[in-house]
Amino acid sequence: MLTSIKTNSFAGDKSKELGMMYFRVAIILFGAQLLMGLIAAIQFLVPGFLFELFDFSVARMVHINAL
């Protein structure tokens, strides 16, 4: 099973390659949204957390706009 996942079965099929690239970007954006949501939640509970880098409103904006 793992060998079938590791092999590039999408070689030559442009639409599947494009779909996989879209999926990878979506996973990265989801991770960024999750991370910023966690940071915003911690900043909401502990207002001084990472205040030097960005405040709660910036973390909230990045979390919402990562959709």
**What whole-number distance in Å separates Cα of residue 3 and Cα of residue 23?**
21
Length of the chain: 67
- For residue 49, what are the contacts with CB-CB under 8 A and spacing of at least 6? 39, 42, 43
User: In this predicted model, what pLDDT tens digit does every residue of 7-61 receive, in sequence order?
Assistant: 556 666 888 889 999 999 999 999 999 999 999 999 999 988 888 888 888 888 8
Give me the amino acid identity at 6: K
Tell me, what's the pLDDT at 12?
A: 67
Between 66 and 19, whose confidence is greater? 19
* CA angle (41, 27, 33) in 5-degree steps: 20
pTM higher than 0.85, yes or no? no
DSSP, res 54 = -
- Asked if 32 and 66 touch (Cβ cutoff 8 Å), the reply is yes
Q: What is residue 49's predicted lDDT score, i.e. its pLDDT? A: 87
> Can you give the pLDDT at residue 8?
58
How do the domains of the chain map onto residue ranges? Answer: 28-67
